Structures are given as C-alpha cells and as structure tokens.
Chains A and B, each alone.
Chain A
Amino acid sequence: NAGVTQTPKFQVLKTGQSMTLQCAQDMNHEYMSWYRQDPGMGLRLIHYSVGAGITDQGEVPNGYNVSRSTTEDFPLRLLSAAPSQTSVYFCASSWTSGGDTQYFGPGTRLTVL
C-alpha cells in the first residue's frame, strides 16, 4: 500500500509557465483535496473532490484547475505560474469529508521565479 503519492518532489518554474502536480492514492478513498502550505498560514484548501467527476473550490482556488477522471488520481494544474504560487503543495485523501482522518502525501515544493 503506497498510500498517497505525489510527483514531483521539487519543481522550479518561470513566471507564466504551466505545469501539473500529480497525486494518486491506492486506498479507494472518495475524497481527495489539495492544500498549499505557507509559513504562518497553516494549510489552505485549494480544491477538493468528493468522487470521480465531481470537484469544487476551496479557500484559495484562483490560478489552479483540477479534474477527477478516476478515483485514484487528482492532478492539480497551474495554468500560468506566478511568484505568489511559490509554496509547498500537499495532496490528501479520506473516506469521507471533514469528519474523517485525512492521509497526506509527502508534498511538492514549488518555486516560481
């Protein structure tokens, strides 16, 4: 059981470039979510999904897109990277919503120059 996996671990982008952060889970969880972590601000929810084909916005969705074509995968797309998107990104999954334990991936450290 690999749990929640994320790729890449590190990424450097130039302003305006696009990229996709990958997230996969092998626990058959319905709920998946993306957070960004910035110093002193904890984790803030970007987007989440309650099942394949269903996504919704979190607290800080601007500049990010998601889709959920399978239960296992939940990629996060940066459409046109900006320095304000420099952060550590975590993917998480759970059986149900906020009342359930979330399992986190190891994170992706993104720097936008």
Chain B
Amino acid sequence: AQSVTQPDIHITVSEGASLELRCNYSYGATPYLFWYVQSPGQGLQLLLKYFSGDTLVQGIKGFEAEFKRSQSSFNLRKPSVHWSDAAEYFCAVGAAGNMLTFGGGTRLMVKP
C-alpha cells in the first residue's frame, strides 16, 4: 500500500529565508508525486507534480521540488519565503488506476 510521511508538523521561517519541506513516500513502482497548498479556510491548490523525466520540477509561486528515488523523497523548496506563503502544505502520492494518498501536512508560519 502506498503511504506518505511529512515529518514536520509545524515549521516557522523568517520572511526572506529559504524553505525546505520534507516528504517521504512508500510505493512499489514509480509514483506520481504532488504538492498541494491549502490557505486558511480554503480548498487545496496544486503547486507542482512529478510524473517522470527531470527529477527537479518547477511549480507555481516560485516553488520547486526534487524527486530522489534512492531516498524515496520529494522535498519542496523555495529560495525566499514571502509572508503570503503561510499555509498548510500537503505531499501526495498516486498512480494510474489508484487514488491519491496524502501526508499529514506541514503548517508553515512566516515571521516578519
């Protein structure tokens, strides 16, 4: 069965600092990997996704993520965080014919 672990429940960074959110997955074959963002009181919005090819994927709002098969990881990064990035971030794994499995989420707080 597929599973996703986001080890950090809460992260606080200063505005302008770099950010890395961790995601580890378990899946038997090559997975499809996603990062979604949820602003307070809102639904989820796709940030980026990885299906195949280049292991470094670019997303919206200046985010990127790197797929590392050897580490079963798909960490999300941003070089300089803005106050508007404060939200909850979810990593998810899926595959053709299967539905998505989400991690527990990481809540990001941004200090001025």
Contacts and interface: CB of A to CB of B under 8 A. Distances in A.
Contact of B32 (A4, A99, A104, A105): A99
B99 A43 contact: no
Interface in B44-84: 44-46, 49, 51
Contacts, number: 65
Interface residues of A, number: 24
Contact of B99 (A33, A105, A106, A107): A33
Interface stretch (A12-20, A72-80, A90-98): A90-98
Interface residues of B, number: 27
Interface in A85-113: 90, 92, 96-102, 104-107
B99 A58 contact: yes
Contacts of B46: 101-102
B110 interface: no
A52 B94 CA distance: 22
A105 B100 CA distance: 16
Contact of A98 (B6, B90, B96): B96
B102 A99 contact: no
A27 interface: no
A2 interface: no
Given A42-B103, A98-B94, 19 more contacts: A42-B6, A42-B105, A43-B102, A44-B102, A45-B99, A48-B99, A58-B99, A97-B96, A97-B97, A98-B32, A98-B96, A98-B98, A98-B100, A98-B101, A99-B94, A99-B95, A99-B96, A105-B43, A107-B42
17 contacts: A40-B104, A42-B90, A42-B102, A58-B99, A97-B94, A97-B97, A97-B99, A98-B93, A98-B99, A98-B101, A99-B32, A99-B95, A99-B97, A101-B34, A102-B44, A104-B45, A106-B42
Interface of B: 4, 6, 9, 32, 34, 36, 42-46, 49, 51, 90, 93-105
